[in-house]
């Protein structure tokens, strides 16, 4: 009981410190961890940060000076590469596999996989979903809540469901 109370007191102190210093509230995991250390532990590029609650699966490569926001899914089971200077906003989901055929076949068909490649200087808006096999070029902006189901060329802006070039 005393140990539990000590932990609660620590969390209260850490939350107060974060609020006073940054005017921000984050999950307990993010109070206790360092975003840059998490990124280094996964071999991501210099200066990249990655929130504690990011789900990282399989082979994920991330370049330098990227920001990976909270509640992101980075599915690298089919291979995922992200370039330098990218912002992956809160809630973005990047998938390199899909299990629909396996489910519909009662487990006979295999899970489909295809790599996703995201260039450098790319902004993925909040809650975007990037489907397997997609390539996004350099200097691209994807609007919030977009479904990206096909390649997006360098220098483009795209948004919507499905995402279309604007």
Structure tokens at 114: 């295809």
The Cα-based distances of 95 to 84, 144, 155, 160 in angstroms read 19, 17, 22, 18
- What is the total residue count of the chain? 166
Domain boundaries, the chain: 1-32, 34-165
The answer on pLDDT for 54 being more than 90 is yes
- In the block, tokens 């990206």 appear at 148
What average pLDDT score do residues 67-74 get?
Answer: 98
What average pLDDT score do residues 49-78 get?
Answer: 97
Q: Report CA 81 to chain centroid distance, whole Å.
A: 12
Quote the pLDDT of residue 109: 95
Model pTM greater than 0.85? yes
Q: How many CB atoms lie within 10 A of CB 27?
A: 13
Asked if 115 and 78 touch (Cβ cutoff 8 Å), the reply is yes
Beta strands in the chain (DSSP E): 49-50, 55-62, 67-68, 73-82, 87-88, 93-94, 97-98, 112-113, 116-118, 123-124, 129-130, 135-136, 141-142, 147-148, 157-159, 164-165
Quote the pLDDT of residue 138: 98
CATH code assigned to 34-165:
2.160.10.10
């Amino acid at each position: 009981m005393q140990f539990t109370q000590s932990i609660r007191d620590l969390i209260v102190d850490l939350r107060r410190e974060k609020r006073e210093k940054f005017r921000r509230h984050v999950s307990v995991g993010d109070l206790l961890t360092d975003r840059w250390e998490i990124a280094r532990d996964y071999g991501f590029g210099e200066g990249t940060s990655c929130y504690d609650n990011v789900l990282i699966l399989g082979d994920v490569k991330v370049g330098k000076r990227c920001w990976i926001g909270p509640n992101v899914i980075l599915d690298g089971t089919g291979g995922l590469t992200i370039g330098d200077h990218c912002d992956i906003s809160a809630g973005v989901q990047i998938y390199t596999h899909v299990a629909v055929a396996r489910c519909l076949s009662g487990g006979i068909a295999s899970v489909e996989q295809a790599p996703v490649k995201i260039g450098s200087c790319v902004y993925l808006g909040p809650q975007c979903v990037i489907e397997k096999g997609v390539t996004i070029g350099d200097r691209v902006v994807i609007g919030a809540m977009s479904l990206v189901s096909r390649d997006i060329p360098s220098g483009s802006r795209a948004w919507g469901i499905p995402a279309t070039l604007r």
